[in-house]
Amino acid sequence: MMNTLSIVTSPQPLSFQEKGFKSPPPLKGEGDLGGEVAPIFYFLLFFFFLQDATAQTVSPERMQQVYEEIKTPHKYGLIITPSTNEKKLDCPTVFRKGKGWYMTYLIYDGRGYETWLAKSNDLLNWTTLGRLLSFTDTDTTHWDSNQRAGYVALQNTKWGGNYKLQKYDGRYWMPYLGSNTRGYEEGKLSLGMAFTTNPPHQVAEWQRLPKPTLTPDDPDVRWWENKKLYKSTVIWDKKKTTGYPFILYYNANGDTSNNNPKYRLIERIGMAVSNDMKTWKRFGQDPVIDHQSGISGDAVLQKMGDLWVMFYFGAFWNDRKDAYNRFACSYDLVNWTKWHGADLIAPSEPYDSMYAHKSYVIKHKGIVYHFYCAVNKHDQRGIAVATSKDVGKSTLNFVAPPPPKKK
């Protein structure tokens, strides 16, 4: 079991003073009482730090319990599909309002991402309602004129809870990925923030802050994120575990390859923090999830008792050619123990034969629902779901695939 787990060390190691100690006592000469006390002090100090590091690691037994709780071996199938092969669906985010369930998701149409909304009464059958972040304005020079990929924030994070969105400052909030370059995730991808005073389940264009909140050109940008910033998620930690109420997790890549192509496009997950949802400060210098190959991205958090669970996806790690969903656990939101056991979701069906990734996981009435982006060998992309109990099979399919490209 031990070889299936690994720990990511804190990006901000605590000092003597932060641990509650005064400066360590000076070593004194032989025969002085301090010469006897100091070794004991340093031994106790070492033991304290060792105990603290151990407490931050989630035990193999607890990790196995989490896996057994969240696994979803029954693939129901596709639940939302694009109307044409020119459109590709991505990144489901599920929340509840009243008795209804709602999902924001992305559609890429050749120009860039827009953010859409769908509704369901049973988490299996979904109806698309309309757009929340779109290209309706005519200013093509704005920083986000061709990419507006949003993910609703400040959800109740309790595992098996009500999954409702919370208001802050009288608004609902949505971080998003933006760029003014056409194409699939093209340009200088940066993070922005949208908000609305309308109910979040109504179709209406969300307002956006005029400038990005984080960019790869910021003066404080870190070594692993100076190329593109991707999907983000924001939780409201009212205990202020990090000293801040709002924590943003996002994946990014940077020029860390030293001209070695193998490491050039690695994506890692890191943190930023805020007091007001508008101004964000990077937290620590290192990523909190780093597999040192391929992609680690699209973090989503929920809390099981005293334990935080991060759902995220992996792709192209080491020699793998597919994409799949994973998880990690933490007691303090900074130090994460990664699960190295079986994938939560991986390609296995014709509709997800290439990629089965980008998860959103909830538990409702004793059933776990694992929503994800399904990509087949024709590069058709839709939203699928797997469940912890057998609830049947979807009859929804992709449209006929495009004809093979002529060589």
pLDDT at 257 over 80: no
Residue positions counted in the chain:
407
112-128 mean pLDDT: 98
Strands 295-304 and 323-330 turn out to be unpaired
* pLDDT > 70? residue 1: no
Residue-wise pLDDT for 347-400, tens only, equals 999 999 999 999 999 999 999 999 999 999 999 999 999 999 999 999 999 999
Q: What's residue 109's pLDDT? A: 95
CB 134 within 8 A of CB 203: no
For residues 384 and 352, the answer to whether their CB atoms sit within 8 Å is yes
Residue type, 92: P
DSSP output for 292-324: SSSEEEEEEEEEETTEEEEEEEEES-TT--SEE
Q: What is the pLDDT of residue 13?
A: 41
- The reported pTM is 0.87
Round to whole Å and give the CA distance between 128 and 105: 10
What is the rounded distance in angstroms from the CA atom of residue 65 to the CA atom of residue 380? 35
Half-sphere exposure for 95 (CA within 13 Å, toward CB): 22
